[in-house]
Amino acid sequence: MALQREPMKSPGRTASQRLATTLIRQLLDDRHPPGGRLPTEREMANQYQVSRHVVRESLKHLEALGMIEIKQGSGVYTKDVLQHGGMELFEYLLFNDADRLDGGALRDLLVFCRLFVPNVLRLAAQNRTSEQLNEMRAALAERPSMMADTPSFIKANLRLLRVISQATDNMIYQLIFNNVGRILARLRTVVPLDQFAPLIEQHDLEELVRAIEARDAELAGLLAQRLAEHSQGVVHQLIATLSNNEEPAPQITL
């Protein structure tokens, strides 16, 4: 089945989330230098044609993310995004001001995954317990039956990713890997799964889990890198197809 030519859009974002995305992008583009003062709520409401309540909620988002400092009676002051921001910002950057998928941000995520994920799998192969291996097998076994139902399929994938991250026995790896997993799960809500074949085949994941079972760290890392490179190539093709407004190949998916 062919992919719709309409650019991929974020599902169900609120007005305050869209405005927060706009402001974060402006901070990244240095349109508001660190330490500078943002316009007042009233000025932003007029500029972006939203209510002051929407502006206030957007600013709360940015404050929680560490992007701004709200000083009562003085104003709202910006911080350096790249010094104070974390992976949680990425969910805002995946979609541009028009609520469409940002190809550049997606490419950055894929490069990060290609470099980061193999090391996670190597560590998981070294440190996994028998109980965690059994959980991986269980999550993997339920995955095929859920492919037709997007929420269930996302849940099965997240379960597998969560167990793999826990198997590293490293708190930092777990936190970052869990964050990446949630971002990838959100991407799957953008394109209906019933239109495409899986990006990563079941037998590839089964081979990966067998490497973890054998505690073969190098093989686990190599397989993970191959899967990441394949995924990166397929998604790049998807981005190029959408940019050129062409008919994509049916195997392309997220």
Residue 247 pLDDT: 42
Tokens linked to 190:
């953008």
Confidence of residue 182 (pLDDT cuts 50, 70, 90): confident
Confidence of residue 153 (pLDDT cuts 50, 70, 90): confident
Residue type, 147: M
pLDDT at 238 over 70: no
pLDDT at 167 over 90: yes
The long-range contacts involving 51-57, CB below 8 angstroms and separated by at least 24 positions, are: 54/15, 54/16, 54/19, 55/19, 57/14, 57/16
**pLDDT (tens digit per residue) in 107-123:** 888 888 888 889 999 99
Tokens linked to 178:
């869990």
At residue 77, the 3 state secondary structure works out as: strand
Highest mean pLDDT among 60-64, 102-106, 194-198: 60-64
Domains of the chain, by residue range, sit at: 15-86, 101-244
Residue 191 pLDDT: 52
Find the Cα–Cα–Cα–Cα dihedral 193, 199, 203, 209, rounded to 10°.
Answer: -110
Contact 176, 126 (CB under 8 A): no
Residue 4 pLDDT: 40
Q: Which distant-in-sequence residues (6+ apart) come within 8 Å of 205 by Cβ? A: 140, 143, 160
When pLDDT is averaged across residues 209-230 and rounded to a whole number, the result is 93
Residue 106 pLDDT: 78
CATH topology of domain 15-86: Arc Repressor Mutant, subunit A (1.10.10)
Q: Which distant-in-sequence residues (6+ apart) come within 8 Å of 66 by Cβ? A: 79, 84, 85, 86
CB burial readout 211-245, b (16+ within 10 A) else e: bbeeebbebbbbbbbebbeebbebbeebbebbeee
Confidence of residue 3 (pLDDT cuts 50, 70, 90): very low
Confidence of residue 85 (pLDDT cuts 50, 70, 90): low
Contact 153, 146 (CB under 8 A): yes
pLDDT at 8 over 70: no
- Strand 75-78 and strand 68-71: the pairing is antiparallel
What is the rounded distance in angstroms from the CA atom of residue 101 to the CA atom of residue 238? 12
What is the percentage of the chain residues whose pLDDT exceeds 90? Answer: 32
What is the rounded distance in angstroms from the CA atom of residue 206 to the CA atom of residue 148? 20
When pLDDT is averaged across residues 191-210 and rounded to a whole number, the result is 70
When pLDDT is averaged across residues 215-220 and rounded to a whole number, the result is 96
* Superfamily the domain 101-244 falls into: GntR ligand-binding domain-like (1.20.120.530)
Tokens linked to 214:
């054998």
Highest mean pLDDT among 130-139, 152-161, 187-196: 130-139
Tokens linked to 91:
């969910």
Residue 112 pLDDT: 85
What is the rounded distance in angstroms from the CA atom of residue 176 to the CA atom of residue 201? 24
When pLDDT is averaged across residues 203-224 and rounded to a whole number, the result is 95
